[in-house]
Amino acid sequence: MKKIEAIIRPEKLEKVSDALIERGHHAMTVTEVRGRGLQRGIALQFRGKEILVDLIPKIKIEMVISDNDAEEVIATIKEFARTGKNGDGKIFIFDVEKCTGVRDE
């Protein structure tokens, strides 16, 4: 069992979510987050000076899936969240020890 944490562009959420549902991966938790990555934000020019816009709004998708599904889920997120520019995000994959539903006996 794997846990996927994907940090993506907010405007890509709809497409990514639709594509995951289409492939049968429904369960996910989505959080609005802000953060910075390797480029430390976006640099804007203002009156000749450079201004760094730090901590850009992103979406974090969390999914717990079977080992077999991991590859497809990761590939799907990559395909639909991608623009090819800085700031497309990251995907982290963790091993999950156990999962139990709140209603389970």
β-bridge mates for residue 32, sequence order: 59
Is residue 70 a contact partner of residue 37, using CB atoms and an 8 Å limit? no
Instruction: Considering the complex, state which of residue 18 and residue 71 has its C-beta at the smaller distance from another protein.
Output: 18
Nearest-5° Cα angle at 82, 22 to 77: 35
Place of tokens 């139990």: 100
By CB under 8 A, the count of residues binding another protein is 12
Provide, rounded to whole angstroms, the least separation between the CB of residue 104 and another protein.
Answer: 35
Q: Pick the closer one to another protein by CB: 13 or 28.
A: 13
Least Å distance between CB 17 and another protein?
Answer: 11
Distance (Å, whole) CA 9 – CA 45:
22
| Closest separation in Å from C-beta 64 to another protein | 26
Select 22 or 105, whichever has its Cβ closest to another protein.
22
Binding mask 19-58 for another protein (x = CB under 8 A): ---------------x-------xxx------x-x--xx-
CB 6 within 8 A of CB 25: no
Count other Cβ atoms within 10 Å, centred on residue 12. 19
User: Which residues would be at the binding site for another protein (CB under 8 A)?
Assistant: 11-14, 34, 42-44, 51, 53, 56-57
